[in-house]
Structure 1
Amino acid sequence: MPGPQVGVGAVVVKQGRVLLVQRGRPPGIGLWAIPGGRQRLGETLQQAAEREILEETGITIRASTPIYTCEHIECEADGSVRFHYVIVDLAAEYLGGEPQAGDDASATRWVAWSELPGLPLNATTRTALATLFPAEAGPYVLPMQDE
C-alpha cells in the first residue's frame, strides 16, 4: 500500500470573503472546502497550491507560508484505508480571476463568514477556518466534536 499523500490548499480571503469549492469527487463529495489538491513530485508546496487553485477555481494566487496542517484518514467498512492525506494549507494572496469551477470542483465561490452555517463544510475546512479566523468564523463555524 502506498504511503500518505500530501494535499495542499490555499486560504484566500478577498473583501471579507473566503474562497471555497464544492467537492465534485471523493473524498468529501458535495461538501464545501478550502480549494487544493495533491502535490506532485518535484513541486514546492507553493507551486502545488498555485497550480491546484488555478485548476479548481480559475483564480490566480501567490501562495506563501503554511498556516494550517492536519491529517485526513478515511476507511472502508472493512477497516482498510481508502484515503490518507497530510494536508498543508498555505496563506495566499488573490491576484486575479473570477471563480469558475474546474478540475474536481463542482462549484466555487467567495463565501461571506455569515453564509458558512448554511453550507455543508468538510470537517477539515470547518476546523481550519475556526482555528485561523476565530473572530470572523468562530461564531459561525464551530468544530464538531464527533468528526
Structure 2
Amino acid sequence: MLLVKRANEPGAGLWSVPGGHVEAGETDTEALVRELAEETGLVVEPGPLVGRVVRGHYAIADYSARAVGGTLRAGDDAADVRWVDATEYAALPLVDGLTETLAGWGVLPAQT
C-alpha cells in the first residue's frame, strides 16, 4: 500500500493514504491522477472506487490505482512517501480512523 507522511495539518507527522481536493471542473479520477503526481511523483492509472467516508464536512472517496510511471518521491504536502506491507503499516503512526476505514473496505495491506 502506498502511504504518505502528512507535512501539514490536519495530521501533520502522521501517515495516511495520498489524497487531496477535487478542483472545479475535475472528475474524481482526474483529481486522483493529479494529486498522486503532486504528492508522490507517480503517474497512475485509476482503478475502481474502494469506498467512501464522511469526515466532518469532507466527503472522501478512495480509489485503487496502478503506478504506470514516474519516480517515487515526497512532494507537495507530503513529508515522506513509501510502499508498505502489513508489518510496516502496523508500526507507523497513522491518522485517526484510517485502519478502521480500510479494514471496513477490506483493503488493509497484505502480509508479505
Aligned counterparts of 2:13 and 2:53: Cα–Cα separation in 1: 20
2:84 to 86, 111, 115: 111
C-alpha offsets along residues 63-103 of structure 1, whole Å, 9 cap, x if unaligned? 13221111112xxxxxxxxxx21100011111122321111
Aligned counterparts of 1:119 and 1:33: Cα–Cα separation in 2: 10
- Within the alignment, does 1:133 sit opposite 2:107 as a pair? yes
Q: Which amino acid aligns with 2:99?
A: R
Of Structure 1 and Structure 2, the greater strand share is in 1
Question: Which of 1 and 2 has greater Rg?
Answer: 1
| 1:23 corresponding residue in structure 2 | 6
Aligned counterparts of 1:26 and 1:59: Cα–Cα separation in 2: 23
Paired residues of 2:89 and 2:109 also in contact (CA < 8 A): no
Percent identity for Structure 1 against Structure 2: 39
Paired residues of 1:70 and 1:124 also in contact (CA < 8 A): no
Number of residue pairs matched by the alignment: 110
Aligned counterparts of 2:87 and 2:21: Cα–Cα separation in 1: 30
TM-score, length basis structure 2: 0.88
Name segments (4+ residues, structure 1) moved above 2 Å. 131-137
TM-score, length basis structure 1: 0.69
C-alpha offsets along residues 21-80 of structure 1, whole Å, 9 cap, x if unaligned? 00011111111000010000110100000000000000110113221111112xxxxxxx
Aligned counterparts of 2:4 and 2:27: Cα–Cα separation in 1: 22
- Within the alignment, does 1:100 sit opposite 2:73 as a pair? yes
Change (3 A) 1:44 1:135: closer
Aligned counterparts of 1:130 and 1:28: Cα–Cα separation in 2: 20
In structure 2, list runs of 5 or more residues that go unmatched: none
- Please give the root-mean-square deviation of Cα atoms over the aligned residues, in Å: 1.7
Aligned counterparts of 2:53 and 2:84: Cα–Cα separation in 1: 22
Aligned counterparts of 1:52 and 1:38: Cα–Cα separation in 2: 8
1:41 to 21, 24, 28: 24
| 1:122 corresponding residue in structure 2 | 95
Aligned counterparts of 2:109 and 2:12: Cα–Cα separation in 1: 28
